[in-house]
Amino acid sequence: MNKSDLIKAMAEAGDIPKDTAGRALDALTDAIAVALKNGDTVSIIGFGTFSVKKRAARAGRNPQTGAAIEIAASKNPGFKAGKALKDAIQ
């Protein structure tokens, strides 16, 4: 399922126009991104929790040359599925 399919499913389930469903989906993703950027977590009961995971700096190797390189610390988005979502796919 891609974004267009998701918008169509939202529009049908909510009995709303596709453009309204598209704006709602965009608003949801934007709100989650802003919250994560601010270091917050976003919990949707029954669905899951979005959070920021921190990765420490570490040493690595360039696969082409084999030279040692330093990989900088980074922040990455993470998602942990909730119980209802896990049960839904069993």
pLDDT at residue number 27:
98
Q: What's 73's DSSP letter?
A: P
Per-block average pLDDT, block size 10, for the chain (90 residues)?
A: 96 96 97 96 96 95 94 96 94
Instruction: Report the distance separating Cα 52 and Cα 77, nearest Å.
Output: 5
Print the domain residue range for 9: 1-40
Same domain? 35 vs 58: no
Q: What is the pTM of this model?
A: 0.81
Which tokens go with 84?
Answer: 């209802």
pLDDT at residue number 69:
95
Residue 45 sits in a domain whose CATH number is 4.10.520.10
User: Structurally, how many domains does the chain consist of?
Assistant: 2
Q: What's 65's DSSP letter?
A: T
Same domain? 54 vs 72: yes
Same domain? 35 vs 46: no
Same domain? 51 vs 28: no
Contact between residue 41 and residue 50 where contact means Cβ atoms under 8 Å apart: yes
pLDDT at residue number 1:
95
pLDDT at residue number 56:
95
Sequence-distant (≥ 6) Cβ neighbours of residue 54 within 8 angstroms? 73, 74, 75
pLDDT at residue number 49:
98
Same domain? 49 vs 89: yes
pLDDT at residue number 15:
95
